[in-house]
Each structure stands twice: as C-alpha cells, then as structure tokens.
Structure 1
Amino acid sequence: MTATVDLLILGAGWTSTFLIPLCRSEGVSYSATSRAGGPDTVPFVFDPESEDATPYAQLPTARTVLITFPIKASGASERLVRLYTTTHKEGVFQFIQLGTTSIWDGTGNIVAGAEKKSSGWFDRHSPFNVNERAAAEEELLAISSDKTPTTVLNLSGLWGGERQTKNWVGRVAPTKEALRNKGSIHMIHGLDVSRAILAVHAQFAKTAGKRWLLTDQRVYDWWDLASAWGQGGEPGWVNELMEEAGVRALPRDIGELGRALDSREFWSTFEISPVKARLE
C-alpha cells in the first residue's frame, strides 16, 4: 500500500473514462485497478472464491471503494469487503456496487411475498428478480455497518463516448416484427453515473444499506428512436406499425410501452439532477 485516496475504482472500464476526469475536476483523489495493471492502474484480479488476502494488501487505502464489475458467486461480496478491510488500517470504508436496472423486468424469481408484474411503473422499492447478481448485491447490503457502509447503484442503459444509442437501432430492430415487440428503453449518460457516484461518496450516510435505481428520468420509446435514427427500413416500419396499432403520435404512452422506471428518489435525495438528460 503506497497511497491513500478518496476513491478506489475496482475495474477501470467504460465508467472510469467519465469518472476519472470528473474526480480530477472536483479535486477527488483516486486510484483505479485493471487486470494487468499499467502506468495509470494498479494490478488486481478479483477471484470470488479465493481467501488469499495478498491482492487486497497491494491496493491503496480508500475512503470509498467502487466495485464496477458484477459479482455473482454466493459469499463473494462479503469476502471482498472482509479481505479489503482486514488488509488496511483501521477506519471506515464505504463500498459502492454498480448493478443494472434489468432486475426490474418483472420476470424470474421475484423477492418472496411480492406479486409479479411485467409492465407499469417500477421504482427502487418495487419487487425485483433475485438472480445471481442481485443476490450478491443483497448480500453486500446485508453486511452494511458503521465501519463498512454499503450501497448498490442499479444503472439503466449506459451511453456516452463510443456508446451512442443511435447506432443500436439496426441491431435492436433488424426486422419490422422485431421492432413491433420493442417498447420502452431507459438510459443514463456516463457523466451522470459519475456525478451520482461522487454524490454518494460525499453523502454516504444517506445511502448506507440501500439500493438505488438510476435513469436520466426519461422513458424512451424504441419506435420513436427508430423513426428518428433508423437508416434502413426502420422509419417506414414505424409508420406501418403506428397505423396497425392505432398509435396517433410518438412517443407512445406508458400503457403501450410496458415497463417504466422511476428514479426520482435518488436525484431528490442527493439534490442533483441529470445534466445529460436527452439522448444525442
């Protein structure tokens, strides 16, 4: 351990291309890891089954540890927190796990006692699918304490930089029938993900032990996007589908789009708003 930083990013992937510049501009000290290491990263490979503390001992001491990669193995979230904290000096260590909003799709094994639904409004309190990833996130939240507060940020579709939604239309809707079955889509820009991470880092008392749902506070319609951005047959297909379904204008209403995600509670709790609130 050669450094003490505000934020340790476990996994310097796409998110870090927005998060690191924001840390620099906000004066937040940071360190990031990658599997091989390099001039700007610390080598670290997460083994969900290993009790070897050596890789953790090489990591900087950080006030907040951001886990960008999915954890799916039972016991692995607890193991990561325990091995990190026991190899670093006494203190409070905050842990943020990035997840996905796909757990609110209304299918699969819903949390016990909850009623399944596949459409309508979902917020962070709504029942969700307990898949392997969500179960590991629940494990992380369950061990939240005064010494190791934890939280989960479930992110909607990510865009920004090389990830441009307009380039996805042809892949998502290669045929008219594929487009017919497409309803809503929810997105969030990498800059707003980064702003959310730093807001949580600075105000962790508001979030310890909680799961959050993050979007840019909009519900997009795939038909609308295909009409605007389609480069093949998509715009024409949209016209035909609107006629066939009796849709007078786009975007369609929530009853026709299916799932709608409500992320207002996060933004109001941390008193910030998305700055990239429209797709480009």
Structure 2
Amino acid sequence: MKLVSFRKDGRQSYGAVVNGNVIDAGMKFADRWSSLKTALADKDGLNQIELALDTDLPAHDMGNVEMLPPVPDASKIFCIGLNYRTHIAETGRDTPTQPMVFSRFSDSLVGSRVPLIKPKVSDQFDFEGELAVVIGQRCRHVRTEDALGYVAGYSCINEGSVRDYQRFTTQYLAGKTFWHSGGFGPWLTTSDEIPDPHALLLTTRLNGQVMQEASTSDLLFSVPELISYISKICPLDPGDVIATGTTGGVGAARKPPVWMKKGDKVEVEISSIGILSNTIEDEILE
C-alpha cells in the first residue's frame, strides 16, 4: 500500500493512494485511530485499512488535497550524516566508524507539492535526497538480523540543509531543522512492497536537472544497522522516522556551489516508492 496523510477542506485525515485517488480511511477509522501514526501503533491497523479500501470509502482526487508528511506527528525524527560513500568522498571527511545521528523537529517537514521555505537569514539552502524509514512496532535493543521486521515502510525525504548555520558549530541541528525547510513524502510505501531497501535508485533533480543519483546499496550503515544502533539509545516507536543520509552531488560540494532559491522545483525520486516534489519560496515574516 501507499499510505498518506492529507488535509481536505480543513480536515486532516489519512488513507491510501489507489489509481491516483486518495481513499479516505480516516473517515471510517477516526474514532479508533486519530492519525496514521496511531494506526501504525495497532498491530491490526494496516490490515484493517487495507481491507477497508474495498468498501465504499470517500475518494479524493490527489490534486484536490493538501499532502502532509506521511507521519506529520512523528515523535522522533533521526537523521544520519555522512552515510553514503559518495557523499563522504565529496566532503573529504573521514569515514565514520559509528552512525552520525542528529535530529529534526516535525514542523521542519512538509508534504509533497507544498513549498519549502528558504530561510530569510541564509542563502545557503541545499538539497539532500534521502531514503526515509518509518518504524511500525515499538522496539528496543534490536538485533541487526531482526531489524527489518520492525519497519512499517519507506518514503522520500529532501532534508533541506542551511549550510552556514550547519557549520557555525560542530552540532548539526541548527542547520537541519529550520521551519518548513524539508520535504517528506509523497507517501509511505509499506515494507511488503520493498523487500530490500538497499536495491533502490535514488535521484534528486533541481529544475529538471539530475543533481544526485545513486543506489541505496552505497549506504555505509545499512537500514538494519541504523535501527539496531538507534534502538540501543532509546526505544523506537511506531511512526518514528529515520532519514538514512544523502548521497554525493549536494549543492555545497559543487564548484561553484548550487543553492535552492525562490521559484526552484526540487524532486526526490526513489524507485518503488515515488516522487517527492516541492517548489521553493522565500520566508515572509509577518
């Protein structure tokens, strides 16, 4: 299934994409599961949503809904730095011996077709196409060989990075969690449709030009290794997100650098998942 969260006529809901339409499962299950995250937390949630798709649920044209991040209320969003060998090479940094983990806040991410906001305080607004992993079951101290069993599904992330703020200190958070600076979507493709998350092609396009392209097999730390490592730090809960890192080709590494600006369109496409598409707008202070 391709699961979505969305807003229609001021009402937030969730459902699945079928033949270009958004099937409104939230209309049926709102009293039981208020959001997709709460449905993920119920071991029978996804099964019930899938069964309901064959019933007479409301269907909305995708063009007539506001797409939200698949999990707009994620409790924890973990991001991994320097996790593609091509990206490590272009930065000239040493290869990490352990995953480089930092975090983002939920309100730093928007859904597909919603503009990313270039911060007023910086022109160094960079793109980072990434594979996102969404947890489906609470877990702690997970063995690597068991880790994929805790995954609900996968999505695309454009982890918009504000490079000067990122470099002001050795801590990444400031440059990585500006309000509405990143995209997440277009939906959550359930794990049964992606048996091997390391056999996907990730492509980032800026105004139609390919800027990043690599196989997820280039990941330094695999998806199971990341889940196992993070679950030693804290419990992972349904709806938690792991952004697995970006590949080579980022704007900051180009000569001259390439930054996202107002009017640009950036797309992150991952095979078997879909295309996350966002335009860029300037921040307007009220």
Calculate the TM-score normalised by the size of structure 2: 0.31
Higher strand share: 2
Which gives a bigger RCO, structure 1 or 2 (Cα 8 Å, sep 6+)?
2
Calculate the TM-score normalised by the size of structure 1: 0.31
